[in-house]
A = this chain, B = another copy of it.
Amino acid sequence: MRVLILGGDGYLGWPTAMQFSARGDEVTVVDNFAKRQWELEEGIEPVVPIPTLHRRIARWQEVTGKTIRMRVGDLCNHRFVYTLLEETRPDAIVHYAEQPSAPYSMQSRGTAVYTQTNNLVGTLNLLFGIRRHCPGVHLVKLGTMGEYGTPNIDIEEGYLTVTHNGRTDTLPFPKQPGSFYHLSKVHDSHNIAFACRIWGLAATDLNQGVVYGIETAETRLDAGLRTSFHYDHVFGTVLNRFLVQAAVGSPLTVYGKGGQTRGFLNLVDTLQCIDLAVRHPAKGGEFRVFNQFTEQFSVMDLAEKVCAAGRRAGLAVSIEHLPNPRIEAETHYYNPRHSRLVDLGLQPHLLTDRVIDDLLASVRPHAGRVDPGAFRPKIRWAADTRV
């Protein structure tokens, strides 16, 4: 099948592209390299230098004999989007092409507005482009579990059946997102649901948990096929940051009490979930929502697991509680459903001691390149945000 990967230069986009290509699909990746610009703005780098997308695609061809096509452009340019869809006629579109960092969105008025307009306009252009050029395509859109916040009830997968004053309806699950970035994903979800309803488009919204890991079957083929791995305070996700902190002997930085509980999944399971969603498409008119994670942990659970892995590896690892730069509940109820991808066949790779040991081993060779100054949070949700 023809698969379009939007945001194909990124942490998740590039391994996704390789996976589909490896399985024989016709893959086109799209990127405008905006993420690399944001990295420059923040003065941060991935733990391993990542070759240009052009060079990685060439290397993929050398290593596997397979071709990944590339289009360079910005989804906010609708003429680019329309031409892209008209010329590639995809069967499935995997849409990662958004500003993905909550801290980035919270650092100033400018980045808040940029995040929301960039993410919304790109997705709106895509919806109108699909409507015009490939209305039968299946749109697989990356959302986040952070859209839900931490309500005091079980979180369902996208919808909630409510009985109220004796009447019942199934309604979109109420959202309480925790940053301008998370808000942008909630806005997207409302826009996409509407497009499915009025135009008959087919979409799957994947409310993804926090991803960890650096390797996939395809990145292991060659050092030139690595994906972008961040450990910094802007783009680094919590477990990845802890692993790098352990590798370099810095304390694990826990925000506040560390009771914040979230859904997590291994990078290889992200790929598996995307594959399952694409192979089992939504129907026309359907706005389908899956909660995409495999298990849940509190931040302290993870810190303790990484401490233990460090001890097993002979590293001295400590935990440092920092004032929480975010405004969020540090102890709360959390029980989100995540069965729909399992129903489609997801085989989770859980976070066993063995897996953590392997993750830690995979980041240790890069310890010499790490900038410990990038660990410390510099962007606060509250009073001292630059406006």
Contact B160 A174 (CB under 8 A): yes
**Listed stretches A44-52, A184-192, A350-358; interface member:** A184-192
Number of copies of chain A assembled together: 2
**Tier of interface size on chain A:** 35 or more
| CB-CB contacts below 8 Å: A350-381 with B | 381
Q: What CA separation (Å) do A109 and B111 show in the bound complex?
A: 24
- Indicate with 1 or 0, residue by residue over A111-144, a CB within 8 angstroms of chain B CB atoms: 0110011001100110011011000000000000
Contact B183 A176 (CB under 8 A): no
| CB-CB contacts below 8 Å: A175-218 with B | 175-180, 183, 186-187, 190-191, 194, 197-199
Contact A183 B191 (CB under 8 A): yes
A37 at the interface (CB under 8 A from B): no
| Among B129, B152, B169, B327, contact of A152 (Cβ-Cβ < 8 Å) | B169
Closest residue on chain B to residue A333 by CB atoms: B167
- Indicate with 1 or 0, residue by residue over A156-171, a CB within 8 angstroms of chain B CB atoms: 0000101111011101
User: Which residues of the other chain, B, contact A179 by a CB distance below 8 angstroms?
Assistant: 194
A338 at the interface (CB under 8 A from B): no
| Among B78, B113, B190, B198, contact of A175 (Cβ-Cβ < 8 Å) | B190
Known contacts: A171-B174, A183-B194. The answer to whether A125 contacts B152 by CB under 8 A is: no
Q: What CA separation (Å) do A160 and B162 show in the bound complex?
A: 10
Tell me, rounded to whole Å, the shortest Cβ–Cβ distance linking A166 to chain B.
9
- Indicate with 1 or 0, residue by residue over A37-74, a CB within 8 angstroms of chain B CB atoms: 00000000000000000000000000000000000000
15 contacts between A and B (CB under 8 A): A112-B124, A112-B128, A116-B191, A132-B387, A151-B171, A152-B169, A153-B168, A160-B162, A160-B164, A167-B333, A172-B174, A177-B190, A183-B187, A183-B191, A186-B187
Which residues of A are at the interface with B, using a C-beta cutoff of 8 A? 78, 109, 112-113, 116-117, 120-121, 124-125, 128-129, 131-132, 151-154, 160, 162-165, 167-169, 171-180, 183, 186-187, 190-191, 194, 197-199, 327, 333, 381-382, 387
**Which 3 residue pairs spanning A and B have beta carbons closest together?**
A171-B174, A152-B169, A109-B128
